[in-house]
Amino acid sequence: MEKYARLQKIGEGSFGKAILVKSTEDDRQYVIKEINISRMSNKEREESRREVAVLANMKHPNIVQYRESFEENGSLYIVMDYCEGGDLFKRINAQKGVLFQEDQILDWFVQICLALKHVHDRKILHRDIKSQNIFLTKDGTIQLGDFGIARVLNSTVELARTCIGTPYYLSPEICENKPYNNKSDIWALGCVLYEMCTLKHAFEAGNMKNLVLKIISGSFPPVSLHYSYDLRCLLSQLFKRNPRDRPSVNSILEKGFIAKRIEKFLSPQLIAEEFCLKTFSKIGAQPIPDVPYFPSCSSPTPGLDYTIVCVHGLCIYAHKFFGGLAILMTTSMAVLFLLWLSFGDGFLFS
């Protein structure tokens, strides 16, 4: 802690606290999560160290940036970037009953989804999505934080049974002590979207028992007709009682009114990295090579004859590295294109 000067405590949890500090090396402000591990069981210590491992691998413009961690005097310290804009919960409360414009809600929601996609694509559950864990930077960028109870899945279909999370955001399956997976994060995402639309929690009650009953029944006050049908329909999908009926975060990002906003927040290169799961060549599917994304006006990379295919909304962007040609295709065209890549000209003219 020698290279950090404490400024003030900005949060506290069951095992530790969050402290705003200033670095003596670069004069920047950071948040240090101080976790007392001296009284923890071995299992709890490992969970805290797992948080560090998860955070260290999360590099995305919509995820709070991890800087470093260290253990000292019975405590684990995790250093993160400081988001000067505060959290979304405080931003919602600052509205004093004045509803947000839909454009603002969707801009924030898309960024939350992009962060969650990055997490889920790496087989990780966040498990504590709530407005208090969503932060705004100085320039208004949304960043998802606090992976304190995130869990790395051994396989995509592995289910977690641990009942963890803030009560207002718990999904029906957790309330009923049933298995859950990434779709519980989607329910919590719906709770955040509802909160942005109404400035209130979707499910509220005077005690835990009644809160659980409300969540299980799935009954909540309707969102104002001031908001579009698309937005209200999406919200109803996120609140489907059966987890299998809820869309994945990738499905959400493919919806037209959501997809068109992605390019506002991710660079073309990052869109390629986040949305292109495979790179195809005429000799078959291969892992994505470490090459830059070129817009149509750029020069090609010598020696490369790859095509990167990205699912982006209802369209697929294909970028073939010859002559720097960028092709925008409809989904049906893209299917034909991929078949041509696999089987050659004989497929088209047989």
CATH classification of the domain holding 173: 1.10.510.10
Count other C-beta atoms under 10 Å from residue 250's C-beta. 15
In a domain, 327, yes or no: yes
How many domains does the chain divide into?
3
Q: Assign 276 a pLDDT band (cuts: 50, 70, 90).
A: confident
Residue written as token pair 């919200």: 235
Domain of 43, in residue numbers: 4-81
Instruction: Report the distance separating Cα 94 and Cα 58, nearest Å.
Output: 30
User: Which has more confidence, 322 or 274?
Assistant: 274
Whole-structure pTM value: 0.76
In a domain, 281, yes or no: no
81 catalytic? Reply is no
Alpha-carbon dihedral of residues 9, 11, 15, 21, nearest 10 degrees? -40
Express each pLDDT in 329-345 by its tens digit.
Answer: 444 555 555 555 555 55
Distances in Å between the alpha carbon of 231 and those of 105, 190, 226?
10, 11, 10
In a domain, 287, yes or no: no
Q: Is 90 annotated as a binding residue?
A: no
Catalytic annotation, pick one of 81, 87, 128, 185: 128
Do both 71 and 117 map to the same domain?
Answer: no
Model confidence at 266: pLDDT above 50: yes
Do both 187 and 313 map to the same domain?
Answer: no
Do 148 and 51 form a contact (C-beta atoms < 8 A)?
A: yes
Do both 238 and 160 map to the same domain?
Answer: yes
pLDDT at 67: 92
Q: Which of 205, 220, 262, 210 is nearest to 62 (CA)?
A: 262
Instruction: Report the distance separating Cα 42 and Cα 65, nearest Å.
Output: 27
In a domain, 285, yes or no: no
User: Which has more confidence, 44 or 236?
Assistant: 236
Do both 92 and 190 map to the same domain?
Answer: yes
